[in-house]
Amino acid sequence: MTDKKPRRKERVPMPEQEPKVRATNFEEVPLGYTPEMAIEEAERCVQCKVPSCVCGCPVNVHIPAFIKLVAEGKFAEATRKIKETNALPAICGRVCPQEVQCEEQCVFHKMGRPIAIGRLERFVADYERDNDLIEYPTLPEKNGKKVAIVGAGPSGLTAAGDLEQLGYEVTIFEAFHKPGGVLMYGIPEFRLPKDIVEKEVDYLVQMGVELKLNEIVGKTVTIDELLGERGYDAVFIGVGAGLPKFLGIPGENFGGVYSANEYLTRSNLMKAYLFPEYDTPLVRGKNVCVVGGGNVAMDAARTALRLGGNVSIVYRRAREQMPARQEEIHHAEEEGVKLCLLTNPVEILGDENNMVSGLKCIKMELGEPDESGRSRPIAIPDSEHVIVADLFINSIGAGANPLLTKSTPGLELNKWGYIEADEWGKTSKPGVWAGGDIVTGMATVIEAMGAGKNAAMDIHEKLMGVKKPDTSPEALPDDMECQLPPKRKEPTS
Ligand code: FAD
Ligand code: SF4
C-alpha cells in the first residue's frame, strides 16, 4: 500500500488581487502560484506519449518535459527546458492565449480542466529570475555572418536570440527608446510588469545581441543601406502593425480623443500613470468611452478605470463575438467596466472648448454572417442616443505603417499594406525576411515569436547551408494533428 496523495482533478486556482483593490492600482492582477501550488498542478499532467499540447504551441515548447520537472520540484531546470525553444517564458506565461493554444489541445480540455500550462510557465520563469538562477547558453564560435533585425518586438527579439545562438553577429534596430514592442508600449503594467520585459530582453543582450535604440529604419537608415554599405548578410523585418485606424465619423479631431495606441503608449512607455513623477500629459476622463471589443480595448478601458474614470466599452456586436480573451473581459467587468453591446458610435460630440462632451450612438441588431463569419451588425432605425463622455479612446484596430515598406524597393505588399512573405518569412526581396504582425496583421505574441523562429532557421539555411527541420504536417506522427502556420488576415473589430 502506498499513502501517495490521489492526483487532483480540478485546476489549481491562481490567487489574484481583489477587483475593488486592483481597480485603484497598476500592480499585476494575478499573483502567481506558490511552489506547492505549482507542484500540485504539475502532478495533474499524465505525461501523454503523444503530447497534443505541444501541437498547440507555435514555438513547440517541450510541455510535458518541463511540467515533469515542475512536479519534481526542479523549477530552474524546468525553465531551461522551456528556454530551449522559447526565450521569453515569463512574458508568454502571462499574455499568451493558452486557452486557444496549448491548453485547448490538452487531453483534459474536453473535460473542462486542461493543465494550467501558462500558469506553470509563468511560475518557473519567475522562480528562476527571482532566485538569480538564470544561466546563459554556451554559444558556438562566430560564423562571420551579420544579421540586422528591424524592430525589438517579440518577433524580432526571438529571431535575434535564435540567430545569436547559431553563431551570427546580430544587431537589432529599434525606433523607440526602449525595446519590447507592444510588450513595452501596449500591454499595461497590471497585465505584464515592465521590469519582467526588461529582464527577458536583458537575457538576450547578455547573450551578445546588440541593441541600437532610436533608429527608425526607413528614415535614419534604409534596408538597402543595411544590406549594402553596412555589410549585413540578411535583414529580418519585425516592425509590427501599429498604425491606428480611425472610425471616420465627425468629431475625431476634438481634444480628449485618442487612439488606443497613443493612449497606451503615453501611459505604459512614457509612464503618464505616474504623473507628476513622469512629465507625460494624458487626459484623465471622468466618463470614458472606449470603442472596440478586442484585447486592446480591454487594456485601454482598464487603464482609464485605474486613472479614475467611469468606463464604458462601446461594441457594435454581441458579447460572444468580442475578439478579446474571455479572461480579460471578465477581469474588466469585475473591476467595474460597463459593456455597451450592439451599440455603434456615429458622431463624437464636443463642447465650446472643442473638447469631447459625448458620443452619439445607434443600437444594432445581428443579421446574416459577414465575410468574417460573424453575424453582421445592422443599425436599428431611430435608435440614436447619447452617452456622456469627456474622454474617447478608439480601439478598433491598427494596420501596417508604410514608413519602412515605402522606402524599400522590391518588397511586395498585399492589399492591406502588409509584407508578403512565405511561411518561413522569405519576402520578395533577396536577403530580406519578415514576420509577426507586419506579415499577418495583429495576431499574438507567440505567433510573432514563431515567425521569428521560422525566419531564423530559414536565414541559417540560406547563409550557412544548414537544412531546417521538416515541420510540415506530413512529418508529424500519424496521431498528432498540429496547427498550421498563422494565416494572413486583416484584423477584425
Ligand atoms: P511589435 O510588438 O509591434 O513590435 C514591433 C517593434 O518594431 C516595435 O518596438 C516598434 O517600435 C518597432 N518598429 C516599428 N517600425 C520601426 C522602424 N521603421 N524601425 C525600427 N523599429 C521599428 N498578444 C497576445 O498574445 N496576448 C495579449 O494579451 C495581447 N495583448 C495586446 C494588447 C495590446 C494593447 C496590443 C496592441 C497588442 C496585444 N497583443 C497581444 C498582440 C501582440 O502584442 C502582437 O501580436 C505582437 O506584439 C506582435 O509582435 P511583433 O514583433 O510583430 O511587433
Ligand atoms: Fe500533460 Fe495535457 Fe500535455 Fe497530456 S496534453 S502531456 S496531460 S499538458
Over the stretch 339-377, which tens digit does the pLDDT of each residue have?
999 999 999 999 999 999 999 999 999 888 887 777 888
Residue 167: which residues within 8 A CB-CB, separation 6 or more?
Answer: 139, 140, 141, 142, 143, 145
Which H or E run contains 258?
strand 257-259
Query: Do 393 and 290 meet the contact criterion of CB atoms below 8 Å apart?
Result: yes
pTM for the model stands at: 0.90
Per-residue pLDDT band for 4 (boundaries 50, 70, 90) equals: low
Residues in the chain: 493
**pLDDT mean over 305-326:** 92
pLDDT band at 492 (very low <50, low <70, confident <90, very high): very low
Q: Which ligand is nearest to the CA of 486?
A: 1
pLDDT, averaged across the chain: 90
- φ, ψ (nearest 5 deg) of residue 170: -115, 130
Phi, psi values for residue 162, rounded to 5°? -65, -40
- 391 CA → ligand 1 middle, Å: 25
**Probe ligand 1: pick from 88, 92, 182, max atoms within 8 Å of CB?**
182
Cα 286 from Cα 208, distance rounded (Å): 47
Distance CA 324, CA 66 (A): 29
DSSP state of 219: T
Q: Is the pLDDT of residue 93 over 50?
A: yes
**What are 171-190's pLDDT values in tens digits?**
999 999 999 999 999 999 99
Compute the average pLDDT of residues 118-127: 97
Would you state the pLDDT for residue 487? 36
pLDDT at 476: 55
Q: Is the pLDDT of residue 491 over 50?
A: no
| Three-class DSSP category at 179 | coil
pLDDT at 395 over 90: yes
Which tens digit of pLDDT belongs to each residue from 19-61?
Answer: 999 999 999 999 999 999 999 999 999 999 989 999 889 888 9
DSSP E strands in 186-244: the ranges are: 210-212, 234-237, 243-244
> What is the enclosing helix (H) or strand (E) of 81?
helix 75-83
The pLDDT, as a whole number, for residue 473 is 54
- List all residues whose CB is within 6 A of at least one atom of ligand 1: 95-97, 150-156, 173-176, 181-182, 186-187, 215-218, 238-240, 242, 264, 295-296, 299, 401, 403-404, 436-438, 442-446, 448
Distance CA 83, CA 357 (A): 50
CB-CB contact of 82 with 124 (8 Å): yes
pLDDT at 58: 84
CA distance 86 to 325: 22
Question: In this structure, are residues 283 and 263 in contact, taking their beta carbons and an 8 Å threshold?
Answer: no
Question: Is cis: bond before 154, omega within 30 of 0?
Answer: no
Instruction: Please write the tens of the pLDDT for every residue from 448-459.
Output: 999 999 999 999
- Please answer whether residues 117 and 199 qualify as being in contact, where contact means their C-beta atoms are separated by less than 8 angstroms: no
Q: How confident is the model at residue 314 (pLDDT cuts 50, 70, 90)?
A: very high
Q: Are the C-beta atoms of residues 458 and 162 closer than 8 Å to each other?
A: no
Classified as helix, coil or strand, 149 is: strand
* Of 74 and 272, more confident: 74
Residues framing ligand 2 (Cβ under 6 A): 45-48, 51-53, 63-64, 67, 106-108, 115, 117
Cβ(493)–Cβ(292) below 8 Å: yes
Nearest CA to ligand 2 atom 5: 106
16: cell is: 489574484
pLDDT at 325 (0 to 100): 86
Close Cβ partners of 13 (under 8 Å, ≥ 6 residues apart)? none
In degrees, rounded to 5, the angle at the alpha carbon of residue 276 between the alpha carbons of residues 270 and 282 is 55
Amino acid at 43: E
In tens, the pLDDT along 458-477 reads 999 999 999 887 766 555 55
How many other C-beta atoms can be found within 10 angstroms of the C-beta atom of residue 98? 26
Q: What percent of the chain has pLDDT over 90?
A: 75
Q: Which of 239, 245, 404, 418 for mutating ligand 1's site (highest number of atoms within 8 Å of CB)?
A: 239
Q: How far apart are CA 431 and CA 437, in angstroms?
A: 20
Candidates 436, 438, 445, 486; CA nearest to 95 is 445
Q: To the nearest 5 percent, what fractions of the chain are helix, strand and coil?
A: 35, 15, 50
